[in-house]
Amino acid sequence: MRAVHPTPSGTPLAIGAKLRSTRLAQSLTIADVATATGLSTGFISRVERDETSPSVTSLVTLCQVLSLPLGSLFEAPENEVIALADAPFINMGGSNAIERLLTPRGESRVQVLRSRLEPGATGGLELYTINCDVEIVHVLSGSLHVRLVTGTVELATGDTMTLAGREPHSWDNGTDAVTEIIWTIVPAAWSGSS
């Protein structure tokens, strides 16, 4: 019996987008990377467009200049889909609100919550803060009163409000209709991974 050996995939390895996004995140131009690596700008451009395959030496050099672990180029992206029906219920402390966590519990970079606010729902009489850098609320349907130290802001369907992290606030659904909202918290205020 003959041994069966694996065959290479017919799909080319796409690493250019990862190299390009890493370079751009560091505000480096192709010329900057070319100077640091000794590679030509044309070659780097072709690598970023996956039009040529770099040698191992060139790839290691590019990764060193970009402070990018070589192995990260070959890792599968971490994508996770959470259907609304499967999103876990959470309690952020409000009343008459049904809240679901739309991002994975272990995701520490961002947290997205979907809230269904029944008539009279409130975040509480007292203003509260969330330990984050930025908090964003988007009204999917209905309306929302956001209370701040400086006054109240009225949000209607389609409106989005960005709050500075740790800014004292609360909210109310003062209408007789259900309000649906999305909260985005950056970075995540808590993680259920621990």
pLDDT digits (tens, 9 = 90+) for 4-22: 555 555 666 678 988 998 8
pLDDT at 192: 46
Which stretches within the chain are classed as H helix? 16-25, 30-37, 41-48, 56-65
Beta pairing partners, 122 = 95, 172
* Residue 51 CB coordination number (10 Å): 10
Higher pLDDT, 3 or 20: 20
pTM exceeding the 0.75 threshold for the entire prediction: no
pLDDT at 74: 79
